[in-house]
C-alpha cells in the first residue's frame, strides 16, 4: 500500500474522530476517555506481529512480548473500567 493512501486514510479518520468527539455529552467525557484509552490498546496487533516474526527467542521477541503484555493490560483493564463506569449511568436511566 502506498504511503499516500495510508496518509489519506489517516486524515479522514482524524476528521471522523473530531466530528464524533465534538458531540459527546459532558456527562460521558470520562467514559469516552476510558473507552478510547482501551481501544488504543489496538497497538497489540503490532506487538503480536513483531513477536511472531522474530527469529527465535531473541531480543526482538522479548521486547515484543512485553509490548504484548502492556497492550493487553491496557485493553482488558480499559474495557472493564469503562464497563463499570457505563453500568452506573445505565442503572440510573432505568429508574
Partner 1 sequence: MIAHNLLYIIYFISALLFIGATQGLATPKTALRGNNFGISGMVLAVFATLLVLPTRNDLGILLFGLLAALVGVFWANKVQITKLAQMIALLNGFGGLSSVLVALAQLVGGKGYSFDLALGITAGGIAFSGSMVAYVKFQAPNFLPDQFVKLRHFITILSFAATIFFWALFAVYHQTNALLMLSAASLVFGFGLTFGVGGADMPIVISLLNSCSGFAASAIGFSFSNIVLIITGAIVGTSGLVLSHKMTKAMNKSVSQVFFGGGQNKQKLAQTNQIAKVSSPADAAFLMQNANLVIIVPGYGMAVSGAQHALKTLAGILENKYHVRVKFAIHPVAGRMPGHMNVLLAEAKIDYDKVFLLDDINPDFETADVAYVVGANDITNPAAKTDPSSPLFGMPVLDVFKAKTVFFVKRSSGTGYSGAQNPLFFAENTMMLYGDAKKVTEEIIADL
Following DSSP, what letter does each residue of the chain receive, concatenated? Answer: --HHHHHHHHHHHHHHHHHHHHT--GGGHHHHHHHHHHHGGGGHHHHHHHHHTSSSSSHHHHHHHHHHHHHHHHHHHHHHHHHHHHHHHHHHHH-
How many residues line the site for partner 1 (CB under 8 A)?
Answer: 84
Interacting residues with partner 1 between 34 and 73 (CB under 8 A): 34-57, 59-61, 63-73
Q: Should residue 25 be labelled a site residue for partner 1 when binding is judged by CB under 8 A?
A: yes
* Distance of closest approach, residue 26 Cβ to partner 1, in angstroms: 6
When asked if residue 95 is in the footprint of partner 1 (CB under 8 A), the reply is yes
94 scored as a contact of partner 1 (CB under 8 A):
no
Amino acid at each position: 500500500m502506498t504511503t499516500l493512501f495510508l496518509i489519506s486514510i489517516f486524515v479522514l479518520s482524524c476528521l471522523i474522530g473530531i466530528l464524533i468527539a465534538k458531540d459527546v455529552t459532558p456527562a460521558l467525557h470520562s467514559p469516552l476517555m476510558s473507552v478510547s484509552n482501551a481501544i488504543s490498546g489496538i497497538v497489540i496487533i503490532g506487538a503480536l506481529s513483531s513477536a511472531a516474526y522474530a527469529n527465535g527467542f531473541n531480543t526482538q521477541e522479548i521486547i515484543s512480548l512485553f509490548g504484548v503484555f502492556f497492550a493487553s493490560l491496557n485493553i482488558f483493564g480499559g474495557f472493564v473500567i469503562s464497563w463499570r463506569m457505563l453500568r452506573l449511568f445505565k442503572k440510573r436511566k432505568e429508574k
